[in-house]
Amino acid sequence: MNIQNQFALITLATISFFSRTQAQPNFIFSENPKHSQVQIKKAAYGIPNRLLASKDLYGSSVGLDDGAFWQIEGIQSQQTVQTWLINDSLIIYPMYCTCKSNARFFIYNERTHTSAYAELKVAPLYGTAAHNCIQSFNYTYGELCTVNGLGQATNWLIDSNDWHKLQTWKHNQTIIIGYNEGGFARWLSNYSHILINVEKNDFIYAQAL
């Protein structure tokens, strides 16, 4: 790799790093009753796939199987979404470069191998199997535990660069789990997943334990 290419890649990673905490517009919350206590079972976590449940005619928004709705950013991304089909398997990733879009996330379609820039607009529904919320914290070791609607728990180790965010998170806040593998993913963090806090409108990097 020549020096110019090395400089370009370093610049890309630097821009992405400083864009992680940019403020974004507020979004609408779906009904949010108090989360009931459930029996905790250990849940193994790999790729956090979601299914496409709905989309509008113009590809400007998509609904996922957890009840969340995402706004699709940009005409090119909206045209891409028009080719997606109901029940397509999707994965949510953090944006690695904001030079093409101000969106903080992109949604990858495993069937078409295409992606679309996106921002969360409607939170996941409580009471569904796919809903996740914060169950407990361990601030000393930078860990938290999430539990889904089936009562399955996952313990997460948080990237130390995001511990300051963890201090502001609270029990029962809704979490959307995204992925951070492949491509330029590890430039920003060596942790394999992202935890998107719906109420805080922010995310942290994490590794399932």
For 51-67, the pLDDT digits (tens) are 999 999 999 999 999 99
For CA atoms 30, 165, 71, 181, give the dihedral sign. Answer: negative
- φ/ψ region of 189 (left if φ > 0, alpha if ψ in -120 to 50, else beta) reads beta
Note the pLDDT of residue 86.
98
Asked if residue 153 is part of any domain, the answer here is yes
Examine residue 76 and state whether it is found in any structural domain, yes or no: no
Tell me what the mean pLDDT of segment 123-131 comes to: 92
User: What is the pLDDT at residue 36?
Assistant: 30
Determine, yes or no, domain membership for 39: yes
Q: Where are the beta strands (DSSP E) in the chain?
A: 41-42, 50-55, 61-64, 69-72, 89-94, 105-109, 114-122, 132-138, 143-148, 152-158, 174-179, 193-197, 202-208
- 145-179 pLDDT per residue, tens: 999 999 999 999 999 999 999 999 999 999 999 99
Name residues whose C-beta falls within 8 Å of residue 166's C-beta, 6 or more positions apart in sequence.
137, 139, 142, 144, 158, 204
Q: Flag whether 81 is in a domain.
A: no
Q: Is residue 178 part of a domain?
A: yes
Asked if residue 22 is part of any domain, the answer here is no
Chain segment 182-208, per-residue pLDDT in tens: 766 667 799 999 999 999 999 999 999
Number of domains in the chain: 1
pTM of the model: 0.78
d(CA 177, CA 197): 9
Write down the pLDDT at residue 30. 34
In a domain, 74, yes or no: no
pLDDT at 10 over 60: no
Asked if residue 198 is part of any domain, the answer here is yes
Share of the chain above pLDDT 90, in %: 67
Question: How many other β-carbons are positioned within 10 Å of the β-carbon of residue 58?
Answer: 12
Tokens 């994490």, residue located: 206
**pLDDT (0 to 100) of residue 46:** 80
> Would you state the pLDDT for residue 21?
37
Give CA torsion, residues 7, 107, 109, 151, to 10 deg.
Answer: 130
**Which structural domain, as residue segments, surrounds residue 192?**
35-46+128-208
Distance of CA 100 to the CA centre of its chain: 19
Please give the average per-residue pLDDT across 125-129, as a whole number: 90
